[in-house]
Amino acid sequence: MTRRSVRSPVQDYLEKIVDACGGTAGEVAAYIPELAAADPDRFALALATVDGHVYAVGDADLRYSIQSISKPFTYALALSDLGQEAVDTHIDVEPSGEGFNRISLEAGTGRPRNPMINAGAITAASLVAGDDTEHRFERIRRWYSAFADRDLTLDETIHRSELATAHRNRAIAHMLREFDVLGDEPERALDLYVRQCSVAVDTRDLALMAATLANGGVHPRSGARLCSVDIVERTLSVMATCGMYDAAGDWVSAVGMPAKSGVSGGIVAVLPGQVGLAVFSPRLDVHGNSARGVTVLERMSHDMEMHLMHVGRSGRTAVRAAYPLQSLASRRRLSEEDRALLDSLDDAAMVYELHGDLLFAEAERVTRRVVDDAPELVVLDVRRVDEIGDVAAVTIWGLRALLREAGSEMVTVDPRGTLTDPDAGTDDEGARHADLDAAVRWCEDELLRRHGGGRPDPQRLVDEHPLLRDLSDEARPAVEALMDRVRHPEGGTVLEAGTTFAGVHLITEGRAVAEVVADDGAARVLVGLEVGTSFGELALGTDDVQETRVRAVTDLEVLRLSADAIDRLTVEAPEVALEVWRAMCRDGYRVADRALRAGITRG
Tell me, yes or no, if 68 is annotated catalytic.
yes
CA distance 199 to 67: 8
Q: Taking Cα atoms as reference points, which of 462, 553, 557 lies closest to residue 515?
A: 553
User: What mean pLDDT do residues 287-293 have?
Assistant: 92
In terms of average pLDDT, the best of 91-100, 218-227, 574-583 is 218-227
Q: Which residue has the higher pLDDT, 442 or 31?
A: 442
Tell me, yes or no, if 71 is annotated catalytic.
yes
Catalytic residue among 144, 245, 323, 352: 245
pLDDT at 553 over 50: yes
Give Cα separations from 327 to 320, 359, 385 (angstroms). Answer: 16, 29, 23
Instruction: Give the model's confidence band at 599: pLDDT under 50 very low, under 70 low, under 90 confident, else very high.
Output: low
Angle 548-551-557 (CA atoms, 0-180°, nearest 5)? 125
* Beta strands 409-413; 377-388: pairing state: parallel
Pick the CATH number of 319-452 from 1.20.1250.20, 3.40.30.10, 3.30.750.24, 3.20.20.70: 3.30.750.24
Instruction: Give the model's confidence band at 293: pLDDT under 50 very low, under 70 low, under 90 confident, else very high.
Output: very high
Give pLDDT, residue 341. Answer: 87
Tell me, yes or no, if 263 is annotated catalytic.
yes
Longest dimension (CA), the chain: 113
Q: What is the pLDDT of residues 480-491, one digit of tens each?
A: 999 999 999 999
Report the 10 Å Cβ neighbour count for 299: 15
Q: Taking Cα atoms as reference points, which of 100, 144, 139 lies closest to residue 122?
A: 100
Where in the chain is CATH 2.60.120.10?
Answer: 459-602
User: What mean pLDDT do residues 348-377 have?
Assistant: 90
Give pLDDT, residue 315. Answer: 45
Average pLDDT along the chain: 88
Give pLDDT, residue 52. Answer: 94
Q: Are 99 and 287 in contact (CB under 8 A)?
A: yes
**In sequence order, what DSSP letters do the residues of 428-446 get, joined into one string?**
TPPPEESSHHHHHHHHHHH
pLDDT at 32 over 90: no
Catalytic residue among 13, 75, 144, 193: 193
Q: Is the pTM of this model over 0.85?
A: no
Please provide residue 410's backbone torsions phi and psi, each rounded to the nearest 5 degrees.
-130, 135
Tell me, yes or no, if 245 is annotated catalytic.
yes
With a CB cutoff of 8 Å and minimum separation 6, the contacts of 518 are 524
Q: What is the pLDDT of residues 248-263, one digit of tens each?
A: 888 988 999 999 999 9
Where in the chain is CATH 3.30.750.24?
Answer: 319-452
Catalytic residue among 57, 199, 263, 379: 263
* Residues 218/220/223/225 CA torsion (nearest 10 deg): -10
Tell me, yes or no, if 260 is annotated catalytic.
no
Q: Are 213 and 73 in contact (CB under 8 A)?
A: no
Give pLDDT, residue 520. Answer: 80
* Residues 425/430/434/435 CA torsion (nearest 10 deg): 180
Q: What is the pLDDT of residues 229-243, one digit of tens each?
A: 999 999 999 999 999
Q: Are 306 and 257 in contact (CB under 8 A)?
A: yes
Give pLDDT, residue 383. Answer: 92
Q: What is the pLDDT of residues 167-214, one digit of tens each?
A: 999 999 998 888 888 878 999 999 999 999 999 999 999 999 999 999
Stated as kind and residue range, the H or E segment containing 49 is: strand 44-49
Q: What is the pLDDT of residues 264-285, one digit of tens each?
A: 999 999 999 889 999 999 999 9
- 9-303 CATH fold: Beta-lactamase (3.40.710)
Q: Which residue has the higher pLDDT, 165 or 325?
A: 165
Where in the chain is CATH 3.40.710.10?
Answer: 9-303
Query: For helices 436-452 and 336-344, what crossing angle results, to 10°?
Result: 90
Give pLDDT, residue 314. Answer: 47
Q: What is the pLDDT of residues 422-463, one digit of tens each?
A: 999 999 999 999 888 888 888 988 998 898 866 667 787 788
Share of the chain above pLDDT 90, in %: 59
Please provide residue 266's backbone torsions phi and psi, each rounded to the nearest 5 degrees.
-95, 155
pLDDT at 155 over 90: yes
User: What mean pLDDT do residues 330-337 have?
Assistant: 64
User: What mean pLDDT do residues 562-566 have?
Assistant: 93
In terms of average pLDDT, the best of 266-270, 472-476, 567-571 is 266-270
Catalytic residue among 8, 65, 68, 126: 68
User: What mean pLDDT do residues 43-55 have?
Assistant: 95
Instruction: Give the model's confidence band at 104: pLDDT under 50 very low, under 70 low, under 90 confident, else very high.
Output: low
- The domain covering 459-602 belongs, at the CATH homologous superfamily level, to Jelly Rolls (2.60.120.10)
Tell me the CB-side half-sphere exposure of residue 563, using CA atoms within 13 A: 12
Instruction: Give the model's confidence band at 313: pLDDT under 50 very low, under 70 low, under 90 confident, else very high.
Output: very low
With a CB cutoff of 8 Å and minimum separation 6, the contacts of 298 are 254, 255
pLDDT at 601 over 60: no
